[in-house]
Chains A and B, each alone.
Chain A
Amino acid sequence: MSRWLPAAALGCILALIAIGVVLALRPGPATTDAARGAALAQELRCPDCASLSAADSPTRSAREIRRQIDELIGAGASDAEVRAHFVDRYGQWILLAPSSPAAWLVPLAVVAAGVIGLAWWLVRRPRAPAARRVLSAEEQRRLHDEAEALDA
């Protein structure tokens, strides 16, 4: 047990360093209007496509959404106001990611409930009784006879 401890500790430290590096290199919030517009277009669904963002689609609706985003940003709208402009027209459906942070916890909660349920079932499961049966006199005799016949 104790000889695994240093390796586990080293693994934890390396993982923490990796997380730190990823967080440090993560792009910060978009600053220019063009970058803000592009980021917002990534968050919005292209209405006449299957599972594409308005940024990734060449359809006319996607182009018009990108144009309206730029127009709203040019008029001084905040990111939240731009999102609200499209939610007003399409509902939450237009957002590719749920707006409530609580929604992200749902899959984690479902997985946790599954793990707890499985663990509970494994712990509580009655052990199968060992199959021990005494042979009858008839069976013993037959076993003996067949072993004899093999030896012969």
Chain B
Amino acid sequence: MRAMRWLLVPLLVVPLSWLLFTGFSLDPRAVASPLIGRPAPAWSYTTLDGETLSSDDLAGRPYVVNFWASWCVPACVDEHPVLTAAWQEHGDEIAMVGILFDDSPDNAAAFLDRYGRPGYPTVVDESGTLAIDFGVTGPPETFFVDAEGIVRDKQTGPLTDASMADRLALIGIDR
């Protein structure tokens, strides 16, 4: 009976502590996307420059879809140079597109004036339909689509150079 008491620690306390420690350190927004392994949603929108761009225009190459907003600070500001650098390095192998999330084109243009234009287009998803289709909870979120149009990974929160390189490798782009 007394020996049972000592079993309580490994059987109850250790697993419960582990559950609480890991559970509370998780980001509740970082939900695994059901889109991974499935074809990316199709879309057609107007860019900040007033041109029409659709997912068909990107087909055949791996591509990166980045949901962002000018009000998303500091996360979108932090990852801005990472996205710009990835485009400069791999722009001939991949396509990249920004999707404006719940923001006005004027604010987006002011953001790009201030932090630099990355060189790839941003389209305006005015109604938020595409954000729902991609299962976005809030910017920044970035999806990595391979050349066959299958979503291979999703980053919730700002990208770093390392996480960008890891995810690009999943869609066939090696440094």
Contacts and interface: CB of A to CB of B under 8 A. Distances in A.
Contacts of A61: 102, 128, 131-132, 136
A107 B16 CA distance: 16
Looking at chain B's contact residues, is the secondary structure mostly helix, strand, loop, or mixed?
Answer: loop
B132 A87 contact: no
A93 B1 CA distance: 43
A64 B129 contact: yes
Contacts of A93: 31
B110 to A, nearest CB: 20
A89 B137 contact: no
A47 B156 CA distance: 13
A60 interface: yes
A89 B102 contact: no
B34 A67 contact: no
A91 B127 contact: no
Contacts of B81: none
A64 B128 contact: yes
Contact of A47 (B33, B34, B137): B137
Contacts, number: 49
B135 A91 contact: yes
Interface residues of B, number: 18
A93 B33 CA distance: 10
A57 B34 CA distance: 24
A77 B33 CA distance: 24
B136 A91 contact: no
Nearest to B35: A89
A68 interface: yes
Interface string B93-137: 000000000100000000000000000000000011101111111
B32 interface: yes
Most buried by A among B32, B34, B138: B34
A59 B102 contact: yes
A68 B102 CA distance: 17
Nearest to A62: B128
B133 A48 contact: no
Interface in A7-64: 47-48, 59-61, 63-64
20 contacts: A47-B138, A48-B137, A60-B128, A61-B102, A61-B128, A61-B132, A61-B136, A64-B128, A64-B131, A65-B132, A68-B129, A87-B34, A89-B34, A89-B132, A89-B135, A90-B31, A90-B135, A91-B31, A93-B31, A94-B135
Interface of A: 47-48, 59-61, 63-65, 67-68, 86-91, 93-94, 124
Interface of B: 1, 31-35, 102, 127-129, 131-138
Pick the 10 closest A-B CB pairs, nearest first: A64-B128, A89-B135, A90-B135, A93-B31, A48-B138, A47-B137, A60-B102, A91-B34, A60-B128, A64-B132
